[in-house]
Each structure stands twice: as C-alpha cells, then as structure tokens.
Structure 1
Amino acid sequence: MKTLIIEDEQFAADLLADLIRGVRPEAELVGVLGSVEEAVEWLRLHQAPDLIFCDIHLSDGSSFDIFRQVEVRCPVIFTTAYNQYALQAFKVNSIDYLLKPVKREDVAAALRMYDESRQHYVAAGLGNLQGLLQTLQAPAQRPLRSRFLVKAGPSIKVVQLPEIAYFQAEDAVVFLVTHEKKRYIVNFTLDQLEEQLDPQLFFRANRQLLVHITAVREVKPYLKGRLYLLLSPATAEDVFVSSSRAAAFKHWLDS
C-alpha cells in the first residue's frame, strides 16, 4: 500500500507515519508534503498513491485547493483539529477523517474502511469527494457574519462588514482593519474567521491576511507565479499570494 502524507507540521506527520507503519508494516510511505503548492506539483508529476492522508489547513492555504487544481484518483483520509461543521460534512459524504491528536485505533479503523471501500472508490469515491468540496464551500450552510463587536477604549463598537478592509494576524493577535485605517483586536484566528465570512467577499491571501474584495486596489504578477497585492489601506509589509493560490485568487476577484 503506497501512502502519501500531506501535513505541514513535522511532528504530526512523523506521528502519523509511525502510526500507519504500526498498523500496516507493509505500507510504503512515498512522500510527506507540507503545502498546497508541493502537493499539486507532486500529484502532477507522480502516479497516484493508493491512499492519501491529508491535513485540512496547510502552510499556504486549505488542502481543498489541491483538489481544485489537480484530479486525485485515490481515496483521501482527512485529518483535522477543526470544527464540528467540517466533521459532519465528512460523515455525510462518506470520506473518513481523523480528529487530531490522531490515535492508533483511529488509523486502524480508517484503514479498515479503506480496505472495504477501495474496490468501489473510483466509481463512487470521487463523486463523494466533489460532494464534500461543494458542501464545505456552500455559502448557505455557513454561519456567515454581517458585523463584529469590538472593543474601542472603554466602549464596545459595532463594525459592519462593508467597513472591513481585511483581518491581519500579527504574532498571536488578529486585528480587524477598516477602510478608515482603524484597527481593533478580534478574538478569532484567521482560520475561524474564514469559516464565518462569505467566501465571495473574503479571500485568504496568505497565513497573515484575510482580505475583503473591496480592499484590493491592484494586482501585479511577481516571481515564480506569485501575485503582489496593493491594498487599501496599505499594509506595512508586502502582500503576496502564492503561485498555488494565484488562479483561485484571480477567479475570486473576477467572479
């Protein structure tokens, strides 16, 4: 059984590899990839493995971006530390998942499911995967926000969605930045905010920035297929979209 691991945390990848070998000593690990970009390139250049273990949140975006860019003709078992909404989607679409921290019994159960379903995967599994992507992307099923309550000195202020230019992560703090250059701390991670906001209005440009479409002033091609963004208001640091996210970003901007 040839297995590919897509996981950006080295410790988690090593642990998963050890668990797989412990349950299936004959398993051959053909690669460990840490980003969307790496995974897309690997899958385009190599024959599909028998099975992929794939984390949802990678160093340069969501693992679902992989499946938008390249056809994956093998079973996928997702790993996640995130919310119950995603877990329910996996159940509905009959694709197994492992909830972090991953345990030996979880891997064993997932591999038993793989054994039982692999004969029918090409016929049924790919449709399930596409259904999963559609379910996770469907705006109607997301708890979309229209405003945020933020602390402004001794007061509480309501910030409406059209006022927001972007959310920016700095160290362990996430700031809401308005078009008027006001900055407010919000008690959410960018991953959490992605799930709460309309994907037609907000795009995860990189690990530090979740951008409202009205904040994008100009887009310039950059080295190695990346995009350089000019935002309003401007950020202190240069903003780039990786080559693996560039096509999705341009589609979002033009849709």
Structure 2
Amino acid sequence: MRIVIIEDEVFAAEALQKIILKLRPETKIMAKPASIEEAVEWFSNNEMPDLIFCDIHLSDGSSFEIFKQVEIKCPVIFTTAYNEYAIEAFKVNSVDYLLKPLKQEEILRAIKKYEELKQSSLGEELQNLHNLIQNQGPGSHSKSKSRFMVKSGQSIKTIPSKEVAYFLAEDGIVLLVNFQGNRYAVNYTLDQLEEQLDRKMFFRANRQLVVHIEAVKEVHPYFKGRLQLRLQPASQKDHIISSSKASDFKEWLDL
C-alpha cells in the first residue's frame, strides 16, 4: 500500500507515519507534503498513491484547495481538530474523517475501512454517495432540492426536504432542524439555501432563519409592523420578521 501524508506539523506527520508502519509494515510512505503548494506540485508530477491521509488545516489554507487544483483519484482519510468539515470532506473521495488527537485504534479502523472498500462492491456505493453529494451542491442546476446529506455520528444520512422544519444560522454555522427536533450542520449558507429550496414550502424569514411552512406554529403582531414567529419544533430564540417582509410572509402563508 502506497500512502501520502499531507500534514503541516512535522511531529504529527512523523507520529502518523510511525503508527501506519506499525499497523501495516509493508506500507510505503511516498511523500509528506506540508502545504497546499507542495501537495499540488507533488500530485502534478507523481503517480497517484493508493491512499491519502490529509490534514484539513494547513499553513497556507484549507487542504480542500488541493482537490480544486489537481484531480485526486484515490481515497482520502481526513484528519482535523474540528468536526464541521465532514460534509465537505465526503465530496472529495473521503472514506473516513478522524478527529485529532489521532488514536491508533481509529487509524486502524480507517485503514480497514479503506481495505474493505477496495476489495468489495462498497467502492461503487462510495462513488454513488459521492455523486449524490456533488449533485446537491451549490452548483447544482436542479430546480429545487429534494434532500440533504448530513453527518450523523460516523455515517452520512439522507433527510428529505419535506422533513426539514427550518434552517438556522447559529454561531457561524447553519443547522438543519427536522420536525423531530434533531439538529445537523450543513455545508450551505442561508443565501444558497434560499436559492435552492422550493419557495412555496420555504421562506427566508430573516438573516438567521429559513422556515418550512409546516413549521410555523403561530404568528403574532410585533412592534412597528413586524411579526413574531413561534416554531414547531420550538426554537430557543425569538424569530422576528421585519415590517418590509411581513406582507410577503402573509402572502406566502395565504393569510
């Protein structure tokens, strides 16, 4: 097995290499680029490895830039100290997503997952999953989105748009909240969602909220011509519709 490790911390790269060679002594570590620039140059001039271990945060930016500049045809195991990039990772042939600090048993599990994919029909299923996610991305030309792929534990699940109660921007991320009250991070801005969702069913209420028509439980008059929403499932925040949007909102609800 030939592996490339993309990691900007020398000690982290060496520690990962040591664990891999302990688990799979026959492995050849082909290269350890430490930046986007080094990785792009290496992949542009060398044969593709069997597997890549790739840190997401590099010294010169996000490693996702590598995949925009060169075509990577092999599976990738992402490593990071943050968990908000899982959906983005699954767009670029990811077979696993490991949170730092890395543990030997997690690395072993990820390698075994790669080996199983390589030797079974799951490889085709991974490609189908990859295509599904690509087709639902911001560049998709479908008239309106019918479903969303979300990270749930160590797996990816599909949530139909009709099961989405609302999308909520909170603390720098966008959350999908379904009608059961479950919350999932999604890799979209509210502006992107507003363009992709069925406008008969979803309304951009304000800067923080895109709401499904069935999630509007109550509407109350508020100060200066504004409206206050009560949602189902309930939200911890008050959601106000501005006076400039109030008329459009009432028309959308057919009030």
* TM-score where L is the length of structure 2: 0.49
More helix, by proportion:
1
Higher relative contact order (CA 8 A, sep 6+): 1
